[in-house]
Structure 1
């Protein structure tokens, strides 16, 4: 049979790309170790907070996820350049923007799964700590506590993906995620004091109300949107531009 008559394999669907990219984030030695650290740290935090009830177990246990989830997302986005697999990836799927989108969505899907596991672990530790002390479990957990903390974790993962796409180097992207927003807050505070403009520019200040007891006010929601545009959307667009045009070596 002539080569021209052989059936040509179709390009992978976007759902398939998301599945592959999500698996790649945990299917490496670094990813497995980091995921193990995430689950261990979360379990310890939930166990410490379990004595205070379901809400405390979820909040205390999920605090480390705010740092560790973005790092997992950064690893997923930067792996093509740091491990030299970009040649293989872009031969299988030449549309680089599609690959980057799959990495971002895969990271957010993984973050969502870990948040659900966090809720399950919080419920388990609340039951165990209450049973061991003979108390009635406190299951009081408002919809906003789950929504706000989940939004905080997902936005952190999106911020990590944006920085990873822009910097395209794992160590530098992790350092940027950990240092740049804090340094930005210090700069804004030193220039503007504690004035009303700081929450519009500092993503750390804008995200703080997500951990509060009540939903965001319209002003806080607008501040969050502005800060996310500055720290997530702009780096993400610049990163996508660089991602699609970087020379493969």
Structure 2
């Protein structure tokens, strides 16, 4: 193996007037690689695009999306033939958003844990050493998927309801409260943000998925069965605090309860997960 050198010379002065330098009088240095030098880092939009690819353009992500589509198609088909198809747009919307809210967070978990389970972290953090930017890109890409999924859920619910009106002759019922829409969209977005937080916190796919599904469910069961936990569950059980959204009315106390539960199950895992992501050893 050879090294290209230039004929430029560098003078080496002795350390003292009476001491002889043990270094050669001249030394050859490597030539500078030609071409412009980079002046900016990786654009944030490119990071978001890459994280979107990680979430959707993989075998696991693809099969999860296929599973969601199959569940939604089955639910809408059952509703179309059950009770003559006489269901409101709101009921069709619930049938399309529930599978997304339950399964999409797993896609967010996989987008984070793949850095360690598939050993892509060396590439990711080598190309972008500022891990905080990577963490925000993962979260933003997950929320983008959530927004697109909710928009698709609205479209599918509208198509199914209109099909029932046209082919089953049902009475149209397009009325839906704004808070119900907010609750349906928030259910999808908060779930996927929570999944990203658990993925960052545990950095292990099985552990993150198990804890994501088991811990909130166990807390909800305990809050409904243990009497002295009922008052705490009213503030800390997100499934309980989101119910008033779907009924279309929230009091000031219920908004405070919703904010408290979201802080515990979404904001706190995200904050701890980002903190751990920026300090974890990449192997």
TM (normalized to structure 1)? 0.91
State the number of aligned residues. Answer: 248
Q: Which has the larger radius of gyration?
A: 2
Change in 2 beyond 3 A, CA 1:188/1:144 = closer
Query: Contact between 1:54 and 1:138, CA under 8 Å: does it hold in 2?
Result: yes
**CA RMSD in angstroms, aligned pairs only:** 2.0
Query: Contact between 1:151 and 1:210, CA under 8 Å: does it hold in 2?
Result: no
Specify the alignment match of 2:92 in structure 1.
57
Q: Provide, for residues 25-56 of structure 1, a one-character-per-residue CA deviation record: whole Å limited to 9, x for no partner.
A: 01000101101111221232234345202111
Q: Provide, for residues 162-217 of structure 1, a one-character-per-residue CA deviation record: whole Å limited to 9, x for no partner.
A: 11110111111111111011222344455553643321122222222232x21322
CA offset at residue 138 of structure 1?
A: 2.5
Partners of 1:143 and 1:174 lie apart in 2 by 32
Specify the alignment match of 1:26 in structure 2.
56
Q: Relative to structure 2, which stretch is displaced further, 4-13 or 166-175?
A: 4-13
Query: Contact between 2:178 and 2:248, CA under 8 Å: does it hold in 1?
Result: no
The answer to whether the aligner puts 1:214 opposite 2:244 as a matched pair is no
Partners of 1:54 and 1:2 lie apart in 2 by 67
Partners of 1:112 and 1:215 lie apart in 2 by 23
CA offset at residue 232 of structure 1?
A: 1.8
Uncovered stretches (5+) of structure 1, i.e. residues with no partner:
none
Specify the alignment match of 2:199 in structure 1.
164
Q: Provide, for residues 101-159 of structure 1, a one-character-per-residue CA deviation record: whole Å limited to 9, x for no partner.
A: 11111001101101100111111111112211133432222322211111111111111
Query: Contact between 1:181 and 1:202, CA under 8 Å: does it hold in 2?
Result: yes
Q: Secondary structure at the match of 2:53?
A: helix
| Alignment equivalent of 2:127, drawn from 84, 92, 105 | 92
The answer to whether the aligner puts 1:237 opposite 2:267 as a matched pair is no
The answer to whether the aligner puts 1:133 opposite 2:163 as a matched pair is no
Q: Relative to structure 2, which stretch is displaced further, 147-156 or 13-22?
A: 13-22
Partners of 1:59 and 1:236 lie apart in 2 by 27
Uncovered stretches (5+) of structure 2, i.e. residues with no partner:
1-30
Q: Relative to structure 2, which stretch is displaced further, 183-192 or 152-161?
A: 183-192
Partners of 2:91 and 2:135 lie apart in 1 by 36
| Alignment equivalent of 2:186, drawn from 151, 163, 167 | 151
Change in 2 beyond 3 A, CA 1:137/1:242 = same
Query: Contact between 2:101 and 2:188, CA under 8 Å: does it hold in 1?
Result: yes
Partners of 2:249 and 2:226 lie apart in 1 by 29
Partners of 1:69 and 1:223 lie apart in 2 by 25
